[in-house]
Structure 1
Amino acid sequence: MSIGNMIGYKKTLSEWQCLSEVKMGRGSPISPMLWRKIVEQYQKGVSQRKIAKSLKLSSSTVHKIIQRFRESETISVRKGQGRKTILDARDLRAHRRHCITYRNDTVMEITTCAQEYFQKTLSVNTIHCAIRRCQLKLYRSKNKPCLNRIQKRRRFRWAKDHFKWTVAKWKSVLWSDKSKFQVNFGKLGRHVIRTKEDKDNPSCYQHSVQKPASLMVWGCMSACGMGSLHIWKGTINAHSYIQVLEQHMLPSRCRLFQGRPCIFQHDNARPHTASITMSWLHRRRIRLLKWPACNPDLSPIENIWRIIKRKVRQRRPKTVEKLDACIIQDWDNIPIHKLEQLVSSVPRCLQFVIKRRGDATQW
């Protein structure tokens, strides 16, 4: 194709792939349906120009497919075309077993093991292609808490004890937790538009701060609505935690449940399990939900923190005051149906914990 034709007509990615595959004689990578439509319209007497215009393809692509049909009188792919693969089907099965067994290995480590096992010269690109041919892909692993054997056993036992709870009983739980929010500095986009030579351009850097300004936030929620929010100032100890419970937890419980019985949930942090905190809760006759250690994937409020952090990250506040305002605004805008959906999913989470014998779930 000449330069003028390339400027006058821009092909899509699928068209270029189809044209290249036709030239190489391996058939269309899209589907045989496209070949069948072209041949059917050609047999009805439709011109190649109209076929290309109706199917949004180039005239050269349609011409190659019709020329193939004239030569072989079939739309099947010709055999024996193209370069033979280095790894056959048996090698791919062995390669897939190795990749699944050693999921955390790097591509270089997998390439070295494949060269030693197959006794062939293999490059990193060949291993990348082999991984894709095995219906696998490189993903970023999820961050989950490290659970030892005792913690898994306690999680499993706790899930079995609370598995028979109904959704209505889980809706009577007041969930509480605290989370840390940091001020975002600079341009925090995950990607930057640049050329290969502009990697050392200062405008393409992502600047980081060693100790950015942050806020520690405490909040509570239930299926009935969002509770109060408290911004920590100073150190967090048992005395300050009791003040937060008096100023925010008790009014939230009265406003959300309106005198109905409820269960209060918090984790096993040191201010929560201190003797003065437990005695204060006992004097107030507040029922507590027994909570095992390292159990954040079963608390619905963790999902609320994740939603708020995603929204705050999109706004990119530059000061602590703006960060505080963004957190409060996003906290008040959480819809009720979202809270009911999160609380109603707790029995399903318990089912996964029981199925995995106390190990971390997908949430």
Structure 2
Amino acid sequence: MGVYGVGNYYRIEGNINKELYHEILKDELIGMMQAWHLTNNDFVFQHDNDLKHMSDIVTDWLDEKGIDVLTWPLYSPNLNPIEHLWDEVNRHLQKLPGNISSKMDLWNKIQKVWNEIDDDYVLKLIDTMSQRIKDVLKAKGGYTKW
């Protein structure tokens, strides 16, 4: 997600490891930068302290590409606006008629909902980041209203 909307989605079968995460970044992050006409100076990349995110292969690649990464307190999911985006996706899914009948049906419905998320909603989430950071710092990495 970014200031231009939700961005692309990537279907993952099974578990994600550091190698797959690295491949996703190489393919999808660079693709989104190009689609949105962004340079490294136009954004700060955000992911949490998950081991695969902090692996050498990933951090080395981000450094090599000159991509700034938001420093993330160890136990602070309160900084992650993507969680609110997924909540919004879930709310939209629940409003769809009928039940989800299979993995493929779920995938198709997620794609539909994802593409209908209002860009202004995403921008609102991003705009809260400076306040999120202030609140987390004030709480010394602890709980905040976010």
Question: When the two structures are superposed, what TM-score results if normalisation uses the length of structure 2?
Answer: 0.85
Count of residues paired in the alignment: 143
- Does structure 1 conserve the Cα–Cα contact (< 8 Å) formed by 2:75 and 2:141? no
Closer/same/farther in 2, CA of residues 274 and 259 from structure 1, 3 Å limit: closer
Partner of 2:18: 238
Q: Deviations over 1:219-245 (max 9, x none)?
A: xx1122221111112331111111111
Q: Does 1:359 align with 2:134?
A: no
- Does structure 2 conserve the Cα–Cα contact (< 8 Å) formed by 1:265 and 1:288? yes
- The RMSD of aligned alpha carbons is 1.9
Question: When the two structures are superposed, what TM-score results if normalisation uses the length of structure 1?
Answer: 0.37
Partner of 1:206: none
- Does structure 1 conserve the Cα–Cα contact (< 8 Å) formed by 2:3 and 2:123? yes
Instruction: Give the letter for the 2:20 counterpart.
Output: S
Mark the runs of 5 or more structure 1 residues left unpaired by the alignment. Answer: 1-220
Instruction: Give the letter for the 2:135 counterpart.
Output: F
Larger strand fraction of residues: 1
Identical positions, percent:
27
Structure 2 residue aligned with 1:253, among 15, 29, 33? 33
Q: In the TM superposition, what are the counterparts of 1:216-295 in structure 2 within 5 Å?
A: 221-259=1-39, 261=41, 262-295=43-76
Q: Deviations over 1:244-299 (max 9, x none)?
A: 11221110122224336222111111111111222222222222111112222222
Partner of 2:114: 331
Structure 2 residue aligned with 1:340, among 111, 123, 127? 123
- Does structure 2 conserve the Cα–Cα contact (< 8 Å) formed by 1:225 and 1:256? no
CA distance in 2, matches of 1:300, 1:281: 21
Which is bigger in relative contact order (C-alpha 8 A, separation at least 6)?
Answer: 2
Match of 1:279, SS state, is helix
Closer/same/farther in 2, CA of residues 354 and 230 from structure 1, 3 Å limit: same
Q: Which structure has the bigger radius of gyration? A: 1
Instruction: Give the letter for the 1:250 counterpart.
Output: I
Closer/same/farther in 2, CA of residues 237 and 354 from structure 1, 3 Å limit: closer
CA distance in 2, matches of 1:323, 1:332: 14
Instruction: Give the letter for the 1:270 counterpart.
Output: L
